[in-house]
């Protein structure tokens, strides 16, 4: 799996690969978008922002696999350092 994008500022395409984690968690897309946009607003290039978001959301999911369904989402506040 991969996130594929185009960075207009750098006129380049990119691909950020990730391993699929076989679980559906509410809010993971919102968390991805928030991390990516925060990185962009802090001056990161799009590809680096996407990498940070992929790694952050994946890390949150893996760290909380045992309780993710119980919370019906990700306990972001508990694991903010991962992002």
The confidence score (pLDDT) of residue 27 equals: 86
What are φ and ψ of residue 51, in 5° steps? -60, -45
Please tell me the predicted confidence (pLDDT) of residue 13: 98
Q: According to the model, what pLDDT value does residue 69 have?
A: 65
Secondary structure of 15-29 in HEC code, one letter for each residue: EEECCCCCCCCCCHH
Residue 51: name the closest of 23, 83, 8, 9 by CA.
83
pLDDT of residue 29: 93
Contacts of 9 (CB under 8 A, 6+ apart): 45, 46
Prediction pTM value? 0.89
Amino acid 18: pLDDT: 96
Segments of the chain with pLDDT less than 50? none
Question: Residue 50 CA to chain centroid, in angstroms?
Answer: 7
């Amino acid at each position: 799996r991969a996130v594929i994008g185009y960075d207009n500022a750098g006129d380049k395409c990119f691909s950020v690969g990730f391993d699929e984690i076989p679980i559906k968690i509410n809010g993971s897309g919102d968390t991805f978008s928030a991390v990516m946009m925060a990185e962009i607003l802090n001056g990161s290039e799009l590809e680096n922002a996407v990498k940070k978001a992929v790694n952050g959301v994946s890390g949150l999911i893996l760290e909380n696999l045992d309780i993710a369904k119980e919370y019906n989402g990700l306990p972001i506040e508990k694991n903010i350092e991962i992002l």
